[in-house]
C-alpha cells in the first residue's frame, strides 16, 4: 500500500519530529538522525503507520535500555557510544533490512504479500529488540560465558551470554511480536493469524539473537565483521529463520 498525500505528509512530518527529538536528546548522532528520517519516511509512506509505529517503539525501547544504569556500564567500559548515542552504522544495521522488506512488498506484492511482509518486518525488529535487550541488560549481571565453549568471559565480550541477557532477549522478541500484532490489528492492516505471528516472530527474534552472538564470537572477534555488519547479517538470518518457521506452520509464502 501507499499512503494518500495527506497521510503521507502527516507520516513524514511525524518521522522528522521524532528523529529531531532523538538527535536533540542525544539518542542519535546528527547523521544517524538524518538517515533515520529518510528511511522512516519511506517506511511510513509505503508500508503505513503501523510499520512506522513499530519502528519508533523499537527505537524508544532501545534508548531506554541503553540508558538504564548507564553510569554502571560506563565504569565497566561496556556502554554504547560516549553518552549512549547511536551512530550511523548502528542505524543502518537495524533499518536496512526492514526497509528492504517494505520495498519488496511494494514492488513485488505477488512474491511478498502484505501478510508475509508484516510478519518478516516484525521478525526483523524482534531480533533488534532481542539483541539490544540482551546486550544492554545482560552486561549488568557481571558474568558471562561463551555461547560456543561455555568458558567464562568478561561481560560485553562478543559471543558472551548470561542468564539475565537470555531472559531479556526473550522479552525483547516477545514484546515486539505482541506490539506488532496489536498495531496491525489496530490499523486494520494484513497480518498473519495471532498465534502464527506471536510464535514465529518470538522464536525467530530470539534465535536470531543467538546467531548474532555466534557471529560475534567466530567472525567479529577475528575482525572479519564489524559490529554493524554482524547485526545486519544476523537480522537477515533472522528473516530466513522466520521464513522457515512460517513454512513449517503451514502458512508460508508460495
User: Which are the contacts of 10, defined by CB distance < 8 A and separation ≥ 6?
Assistant: none
Give domain limits for the chain: 58-248
The reported pLDDT for the residue numbered 250 is 60
The lowest-confidence range among 1-5, 93-97, 106-110, 229-233 is 1-5
Pairing between strand 160-161 and 152-153?
A: unpaired
Give the residue among 134, 157, 116 at the shortest CA–CA distance from 249: 116
Q: Span 217-232, mean pLDDT?
A: 95
Contact 201, 175 (CB under 8 A): no
pLDDT range class, residue 74, cuts 50, 70, 90:
confident
Residue 253 binned pLDDT confidence (cut-offs 50, 70, 90): very low
pLDDT at 218: 96
Report how far residue 72's alpha carbon sits from residue 233's, in angstroms, rounded to the nearest whole number. 30
Amino acid at each position: 500500500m501507499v499512503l494518500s498525500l495527506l497521510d503521507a505528509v502527516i507520516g513524514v512530518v511525524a518521522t522528522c519530529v521524532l528523529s529531531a527529538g532523538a538527535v536533540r536528546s542525544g539518542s542519535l548522532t546528527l547523521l544517524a538522525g538524518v538517515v533515520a528520517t529518510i528511511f522512516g519516511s519511506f517506511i511510513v509512506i509505503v508500508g503505513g503507520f503501523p510499520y512506522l509505529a513499530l519502528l519508533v517503539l523499537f527505537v524508544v525501547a532501545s534508548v531506554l535500555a541503553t540508558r538504564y544504569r548507564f553510569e554502571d556500564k560506563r565504569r565497566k567500559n561496556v556502554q554504547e557510544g560516549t553518552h549512549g548515542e547511536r551512530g550511523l552504522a548502528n542505524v543502518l544495521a537495524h533499518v536496512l533490512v526492514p526497509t528492504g522488506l517494505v520495498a519488496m512488498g511494494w514492488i513485488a506484492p505477488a512474491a511478498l504479500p502484505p501478510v508475509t511482509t508484516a510478519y518478516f518486518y516484525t521478525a526483523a525488529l524482534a531480533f533488534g529488540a532481542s539483541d539490544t535487550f540482551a546486550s544492554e541488560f545482560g552486561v549488568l549481571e557481571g558474568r558471562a560465558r561463551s555461547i560456543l565453549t561455555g568458558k567464562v568471559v568478561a561481560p560485553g565480550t562478543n559471543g558472551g551470554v548470561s542468564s539475565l541477557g537470555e531472559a531479556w532477549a526473550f522479552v525483547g522478541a516477545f514484546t515486539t511480536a505482541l506490539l506488532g500484532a496489536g498495531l496491525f490489528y489496530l490499523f486494520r492492516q494484513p497480518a498473519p493469524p495471532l498465534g502464527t505471528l506471536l510464535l514465529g516472530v518470538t522464536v525467530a527474534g530470539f534465535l536470531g539473537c543467538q546467531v548474532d552472538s555466534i557471529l560475534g564470537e567466530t567472525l567479529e572477534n577475528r575482525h572479519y565483521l564489524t559490529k554493524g555488519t554482524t547485526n545486519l547479517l544476523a537480522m537477515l538470518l533472522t528473516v530466513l529463520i522466520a521464513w522457515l518457521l512460517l513454512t513449517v506452520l503451514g502458512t508460508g509464502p508460495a
